[in-house]
Structure formats: structure tokens, C-alpha cells
Structure 1
Amino acid sequence: MKQTLHALALLSLTAAPAWAQPAPAAVDPGMPSLEREMEAANAKPGPRTVPGREIPVPSTVSEAFRSQVAGPYRAPAWNAHPKDAAAWKDLIDRLAKATAAPIPALREKLGVTSESAIIGGVKVFIVQPKTLPERNRNRLLLHIHGGGYVYNPGEAGTLEAVLMAGLGGYKVISVDYRMPPDAPYPAAMDDAAAVWKAMLAMQKPENMAVFGTSTGGGMTLALMLRAKAEGLPLPAAMGLGTPWADMTETGDTYRTNEWLDNVLVSYSGYLTPAAKLYAAGRDLKDTQLSPIYGDFTGLPPALLVSGTRDLFLSNTVRTHRKLRDAGIEADLHVFEGMSHAQYLFATDSPETKQVFGEMAHFFDAHLAH
């Protein structure tokens, strides 16, 4: 009987009318010559040569997120080249005001409160839902904001904390760490470490997690390495959003996603001068600057987030593999069409809700009550 059905199925396929057959794909008349050109250019082992391309906006992202994917480069943030400290400060202030402006409305929409405080001698913002879920009443998160070690001082640095509090239902302490040009390394790490030490007196480490995006992800890793070296308790989990884990411009997607990522765009934009400004002459392979070169043994479980267009996709992938190689539980989520940290900019999109939903669920699975 099965053989008969199989034969009938084959017959129905072969006997289908001509109009039911798929039309042959149109052949690009220029393709044969392009094939020969690329074949010749890549005939020997070495760097890959690719033709100039126009990359369409993928139809596979949500309608709410598509405008982010299709958007122009985020100038002047990505290609800033301030000539001196005064110019840096002016740029940082202008961008911070623009970033902070919509945050109060977002807090109201998500039912979140924010208050400034001093913890461990460091400025912080305490961000939490107006109604804290019962399961999270004894849980506490440390947030380290992104911005290339120079952007997002003050309230501008709380955007991710607001999203985690509102979408994830957690109480968050967001550290307003010192930054260049006035305070290069190690000021930012000293501030993050001081807040973590103070939080250890506020809550049990098994009830806490540390998270951040971009610079915040890199600093989260660096903080774990520092805490381990100093014999401090580590949190129960960490969230690493597209972490700047390597300042040395090492990794495949620093090239493959250059000019495709519409947030960072190119490492030769503001990232190179920002890294040098923060490092202040220190070796960029120092594990407190580029934690990818550190020993990940004993670090907490981690959730990592990136996107297919992210300039830091390789940073994220390499960090994920190194954590796994060290025997650390690590989940990697790569989102379609997403450039660097773009889930922070489309707050109503399904992608953003998924990122913070996944991270909240991961923390819920690893934090004690």
C-alpha cells in the first residue's frame, strides 16, 4: 500500500500541468563574468575579495524593527573625531541630552521608577518596577551601561536598566561610572567594583546578576575577572549584550560587517579614538580592557546577545566559545538583521521584548529567591 501511495505521489508530481511548475529563476546576464572575476580574485589562499554589494532590508524582521534596520548611520555618534578634551565633552553632553530626553516617558509607559543615589561612594540610579514581582523581591541586578567608555553619562546611561526593570521585572542598580576625558582607566572599573562590593552587603551574591551592553558587557566580564582575582563573591549570572570584549580590533566581523552595521559602522569611526582615550596608553590586551584574553574559569553562567549585522558579532561569538571552553554555561542569541545593540533603540519591537524576556528568564533560572 505504501509503495502504491508513493507511486501515486510521484505520478501526481510528474503529471502536473506546465502552469503548476515553478518558473525558472531569471539569470543575471552579468553573473558569468562576475563569477569568473571572483574566481580569479580568490584563486589563492588569503584574504577574501568580494564584489561591491547592495544589501536589502531583510523581510524576516518585524515591522516594528524594520525601520531600525533600514535607518541611516547614527551620526554624529559613530564617526566623531573630537580634536581635544573640550570637544569630547561638548559631544558627550549633546548626545547625552538627546538620549536622556525620551527616558522619562519610557519609564512612565513601562511603570518604572528611577532615583539617584550614592552606593559605595559612587553615583548610581536605582531603577525598579512600581510593582515588583514577588519572585524578584529578594533579587538585585547591577547594570553597567554602554557607550564606548565615553558616552551616556547620567540619566542617559539608564535606558537599558529601564527596559530590564520594565520588561523583566527586576530591581536594578545602574552605575554612573566616571569616564574620559577627565577620568580614563581605571576609574570606570574602580567605580563598578566599588558598587559591586557595596551590593554584597545589600543582598546575597546568589540572588544577584550583573548585565550590560557593549562597553557594559565588556566591563561586566572585566568586573568578574577583577572580583575573582580579589577573592570577592561572584553573582549567580551575567548578561552580556554584544560585549566589547576585545579592544584590539581582532575578529572576523570587524571586517565582514563593517559599513553594514548602521550603529557602529566601522571600528575606524569613534571606537578607535575612544579606546585610546580610555586606555590612556595601557596595553589594549590588558584583561581589564580586553577581557577576552583573561581566564574565564569559574565565571557565572552567561546569556549573550548579538545580531547578524553587528560589528561586534565576533566579539560575542568568541566570548561565548571561550566561556564554553572554560566549562561555563553560556547561551548565545543572535537576532536577524540586528546591528550593534539595536534592541535598545526599538523599545516597542518584538525583538527588544524578546531580548529582555530571554535575559529575564535566564536570570530567573539561575538566581536564588
Structure 2
Amino acid sequence: MNTSIPMSGLLLAAALLGLSPAALAQGLPPRDVPARSLPVPGTVSPQLQALIGQPLRTGWNTPPTTPEGWRQLAEAGAAATRRLLPGFKERLKVDVEAGEMGGVKVFKVTPKDIRPENANRLLIHIHGGCYVLNPGEAGLTEAIFMAGFGGVRVISVDYRMPPEAYFPAALDDVVSVWKAAIRDTDPKRMAVFGSSAGGALTLEMMLRLKAEGLPMPAAIAPGTPMSDVTGAGDSFQTNALVDNVLVAVDGFCHAATLFYANGHDLRDPLLSPVYGDVAGFPPTILTTGTRDLLLSNTVRMHRKLRQAGVEASLQVFEGQSHAHYNRDDTAPESREAFAEIAQFFGRHLAR
């Protein structure tokens, strides 16, 4: 005889006992999943298959333990990325110029052919890297993709990172650049975008602008955002050791976030924006993949925005781990992802 209690009965019992659904879930048994082999899907492009088939990120579970160790890790990764930039710039036909705005280092990324409808538009880009990686030009990949695929000017913020500066330095820098940008460009003609930590900073920036009564952009595009750095979310479990970029909830990215947070409460909405008041946010498009460790972070953020009455679109790509759409400009999925974002911006930005 089946003596299990239906879920409706469990929820009723929880309500009678004054328990939250989260507390109830803590008392439910986990589901044991047998070990299995995951093939590279044949439903994606050869370029994406190559990315999916790569081994887990080297050193994902052995993060640095000293400030100098983090500096060395960032520089090693930056050196590898810098070698790819000439090819990106040539194929996507963009020019890059270093500069400064609001006392913050930036890079101006300009396509050789700006689309006519984008002549007066400007995008602000916030790079990813778990708040500690991709310094300098190494943070430009996504900005180059957006400028090239979208035919629009981009300002990429080279915000301060540990060990030189800690929370909230990165957020302070992107807000400073925004304040400088809106002196010359109508915010209605501007959008903000970024992935991973850049996606979180995009959302955190909106919270700061809202708190300070500053104008917001016409639209934003936080890609696979680190919107909850406390480790909550289903895909931290379901995609553990499946995502070959971030790999697991207790990996290097969590250690990097703790390094940046410098003892600050991880539930602060300026570190985990899913806990913030997002009412009044601009129209938002979010991007993730089915193997992304931050799939739940992205989905939960999308639902949070929708519940607050914000126009929000969610694009989920087959087989992609964390921000795979930022890796190979020749992959049709990358072109599609940025085309979707460009079209979304095109609908919402004034000319």
C-alpha cells in the first residue's frame, strides 16, 4: 500500500505548521541520480560541439588563496584572451581605442559600419570574470561581438578589481561611466549589457541608479548573470560537473566572489540582485544555456522581473555551458544570440 503523502497534503501541513515552502523542501529526501555519461549533443553547430566537448576548466576546484595568486591567475587568462582579439576584431570589423570616462578606464569599440538606425545610439558593456578576471583588453570579447554583430558603438568599462579594489568598487566604476555617458547621450538611446559578473553588475547598476534617482537606460541585457551568489538555485546541483566553464557551486568563481566581497553579506542585492526591488527596471533580455551552472540564476531573475511587471525576455540555448555564446564568433549560435539582443535593443532604444 502506498503511504506517501501527496504534495498538496505536504503543502497544507507546512502551512498549518507555519513553515515556508523552502523549509518544507529541506525536509524532503533528495533524488539520487545514477552516474551517467553525457554525449555532446548533435543538435548544435560543430563550433559549439567543440566547446561543449572541452574538458572541465583547469583548476576549477583549486582557486588561489592569496591576492598575488589571484593576480597571477587573472594575468594568465588575460594573456590567452589577448591572443584571440586580433582575429575577433578583423573578422567582426571593429576598431578599439583605450580611453577614460568619469575617471574610469574604458575601451571604445566602434564597428567600421555603424547601422543607420544606430547612428545616435550607444551601449555600455560590463565584462564578466567572477569580479576578478579579464582585466584590460581581455574583457573586450563580448563588446567586440556586440559591436560587430549589432553594428553599434560600445563603451566597455575596465572596472577596478581585487586585489587593487574590492566591493563595491566595480559597481562604483560602472555608475561613474554611466553618469559621464549621459552627459553627452540621451539615456533613451542607450542600453547596458554584460555576462556573468557583468550581468550581475548590469542589474546591480539598475538598483543603484534607481536608489540615486538617476535615469536608467532604455533596455538592458544581463547574460547568465551571477544574480544569486549565495549558491541557491536548482541548476547549481543539476548542472554541477556538466558546465565545463564554472563547473560547480563551490568552484573557483565562488572563491573569486568571496575575494571580491571581502566579508560583505552575499545576500546584499548589490551582490545578489535577485533579492533586490526590481520594479521599474528597463526592458530586459537574459541569455543562458541548458548546461549553464547559472541557468537557475538566470531563470529566477527572469521570473523576478516578470513578477515585478518588467518586460523581460529569456533566450536559452541548447547545450551551452556558462556564456558559451561569448567564446567563438564563427559559431552560428553566437551570431544568433547577439542578433536577438540587438533586435531587442532596436525595439526599445530611441533613434
Q: Please confirm whether the aligned pair reaches a TM-score higher than 0.5, indicating the same fold.
A: yes
Matches within 5 A, 1:105-124: 105-124=87-106
Partner of 1:170: 152
Partner of 1:83: 65
Matches within 5 A, 1:332-343: 332-343=314-325
Match status 1:58 vs 2:44? no
Matches within 5 A, 1:178-217: 178-217=160-199
CA distance in 2, matches of 1:206, 1:230: 18
1:79 Cα shift?
A: 3.4
1:80 Cα shift?
A: 4.1
1:104 Cα shift?
A: 1.8
| RMSD, aligned α-carbons | 1.0
Give CA deviations for 1:264-292 in whole Å, capped at 9, x if unaligned.
10121112211111111110011111111
- The sequence identity of aligned pairs, in percent, is 54
CA distance in 2, matches of 1:105, 1:187: 32
Give CA deviations for 1:20-68 in whole Å, capped at 9, x if unaligned.
xxxxxxxxxxxxxxxxxxxxxxxx9421111111111111111221111
SS of residue paired to 2:131: coil
CA distance in 2, matches of 1:356, 1:99: 20
Partner of 2:245: 263
1:138 Cα shift?
A: 0.4
CA distance in 2, matches of 1:46, 1:128: 54
Partner of 1:26: none
User: Aligned AA for 2:234?
Assistant: D
Structure 1 range deviating more: 135-144 or 78-87: 78-87
User: Aligned AA for 1:54?
Assistant: S
Partner of 1:37: none
Could you tell me which of 265, 280, 290 is aligned with 2:272? 290
Structure 1 range deviating more: 281-290 or 61-70: 61-70
Give CA deviations for 1:296-331 in whole Å, capped at 9, x if unaligned.
100000011000000000000000000000000111
> Which structure is larger by alpha-carbon Rg, 1 or 2?
1
User: Aligned AA for 2:122?
Assistant: L
CA distance in 2, matches of 1:95, 1:138: 35
1:85 Cα shift?
A: 1.1
Partner of 1:149: 131
Give CA deviations for 1:73-130 in whole Å, capped at 9, x if unaligned.
1224x33421211111111111111111111221011110000001000000000101
Partner of 1:47: 30
CA distance in 2, matches of 1:354, 1:105: 19
Structure 1 segments of 4 or more deviating over 3 A?
none
SS of residue paired to 2:270: coil
CA distance in 1, matches of 2:291, 2:274: 21
User: Aligned AA for 1:118?
Assistant: E
Tell me the matched-pair count. 325
CA distance in 1, matches of 2:141, 2:58: 19
What 5-or-longer segments of structure 1 have no aligned partner?
1-43
User: Aligned AA for 1:176?
Assistant: D
User: Aligned AA for 1:246?
Assistant: D
Match status 1:300 vs 2:297? no
Matches within 5 A, 1:18-57: 45-57=28-40
Partner of 2:255: 273
SS of residue paired to 1:164: helix
Could you tell me which of 102, 105, 109 is aligned with 1:127? 109
Partner of 2:6: none
CA distance in 2, matches of 1:45, 1:264: 28
CA distance in 2, matches of 1:240, 1:277: 22
User: Aligned AA for 2:170?
Assistant: A
SS of residue paired to 2:140: helix
CA distance in 2, matches of 1:79, 1:170: 38
Structure 1 range deviating more: 58-67 or 217-226: 58-67
CA distance in 1, matches of 2:216, 2:113: 28
CA distance in 1, matches of 2:42, 2:116: 40
